[in-house]
Amino acid sequence: MTDGDTDADAGWFAGDDPVDRVRTGSASAPADWPELAVEAGAASDREDYYRRLKEATTEAARAAVAERERADDRQLLHAVRAMDDADRTANELSERLAEWAGSVYDESGSGVEYAREVAGREPDGPTEERVGSLATRIVELTEEARDLEAFIESRGPVAAPNLSALAGPVLAARLISLAGGLEPLAKKPSGTLQVLGAEDALFAHLRGHAPSPKHGVIYTHDYVRGTRAEDRGSAARALAGKLTIAARIDHYSGDLRPDLEADLDERMRTIRARGEGGVDGSEEATDG
CATH code, domain with 150 = 1.10.287
- Clarify whether residues 63 and 127 are in a common domain: no
Pair (196, 92) in one structural domain: no
Cβ burial of 2 (10 Å; 0-12, 13-18, 19+) is exposed
Distance of alpha carbon 120 from the chain centroid: 36
122: left (phi over 0), alpha (psi -120 to 50) or beta: beta
Helix runs in 29-188, H state only: 33-40, 46-69, 72-104, 111-119, 126-159, 161-167, 169-179, 182-186
In a domain, 19, yes or no: no
Structural domains counted in the chain: 3
Residues 91, 207 share a domain: no
Is the residue at 264 inside a domain? yes
Q: Does the residue 93 lie in any domain?
A: yes
What is the tens place of the pLDDT at every residue in 48-93?
Answer: 888 888 877 777 676 666 655 556 899 999 999 999 999 999 999 9
Secondary structure (3-state) at 252: helix
6 occurs within a structural domain: no
Domain boundary among 104, 127, 159: 159
The residue among 159, 186, 203 that closes a domain is: 159
The verdict on 140 and 53 lying in the same domain is no
Residue 251 and residue 262 in one domain: yes
Is the domain of 136 the same as that of 256? no
169 and 265 both lie in a single domain: yes
For the stretch 226-244, pLDDT in tens is: 999 899 999 999 999 999 9
Task: Clarify whether residues 263 and 206 are in a common domain.
Answer: yes
Q: Are residues 125 and 197 in the same domain?
A: no
Q: What is the CATH number of the domain that holds 165?
A: 1.10.246.90
Distance CA(13)–CA(88), nearest Å, equals: 51
Cα angle 163, 142, 172; round to 5: 5
Question: Does any domain span residue 4?
Answer: no
- The answer to the question of residue 123 being in a domain is yes
Asked if the structure places residue 9 within a domain, the reply is no
Instruction: Among 159, 178, 202, identify where a domain stops.
Output: 159
Note whether 182 and 116 are same-domain residues. Answer: no
Rounded to two decimals, the pTM is 0.73
- Whether 65 and 86 map to the same domain: the answer is no
d(CA 49, CA 134): 59
DSSP conformation class of 3: T
Q: Does residue 269 share a domain with residue 256? A: yes
Per-residue pLDDT of the chain (288 residues; tens, 9 = 90+): 444 444 555 666 776 677 776 777 777 777 788 888 888 888 888 888 888 888 777 776 766 666 555 568 999 999 999 999 999 999 999 999 999 999 999 888 999 999 999 999 999 999 999 999 999 999 999 999 999 999 999 999 999 999 999 999 999 999 999 999 999 999 999 999 999 998 777 677 677 777 777 888 999 999 999 999 899 999 999 999 999 999 999 999 989 999 999 999 999 999 988 866 544 444 443 444
Parent domain of 142: 71-159
For residue 105, tell me if it sits in a domain: yes
Q: How many CB atoms lie within 10 A of CB 68?
A: 12
